[in-house]
Amino acid sequence: MAGYLTTHVLDTARGTPAAGLAITLYKISGMSHRKIAEAVTNADGRTDAPILPAGRFAPGSYELVFAAGDYLRATGQAGDEPLFLDEVPIRFGISDAGAHYHVPLLLSPYGYSTYRGS
């Protein structure tokens, strides 16, 4: 079985999925960041397909960067500039080439959390 990576974003301040939030995925190697995927969340706060599908999935270090500031501005939650949260990076490792990795973001204007989901 080949593994894959999914993500989603929930707006905990509004209690809704975070639709329209841009996400970029980077492969990390030493000091190098190589962009390997981009997506925007749908009405359910998820990407329409795995952000890293089975055919491109491999063990290694990765970073998801969530464009939280653009989303917060678009939803009227931004507050004063500069924003407390703008880009939210989450760096994580994939060790099992056959597993499903799910990295969600729970977002509000002044805080966020993440975990390895299922």
Residue-level pLDDT at 118: 85
Mean pLDDT of 68-82: 94
Q: What is the DSSP letter of 85?
A: -
- The domain locations on the chain are 4-111
Percent of all residues in the chain with a pLDDT value above 70, rounded to a whole number: 99
What are the structure tokens assigned to 60, written together?
């290694």
Distance, in Å, from the CA atom of 52 to the CA atom of 66, rounded to the nearest integer, reads 15
Residue-level pLDDT at 103: 98
Determine the CATH number of domain 4-111: 2.60.40.180
- Model pTM? 0.95
| pLDDT band per the 50, 70, 90 thresholds, residue 79 | confident
Q: Alpha-carbon torsion 97, 8, 71, 108, what sign?
A: negative
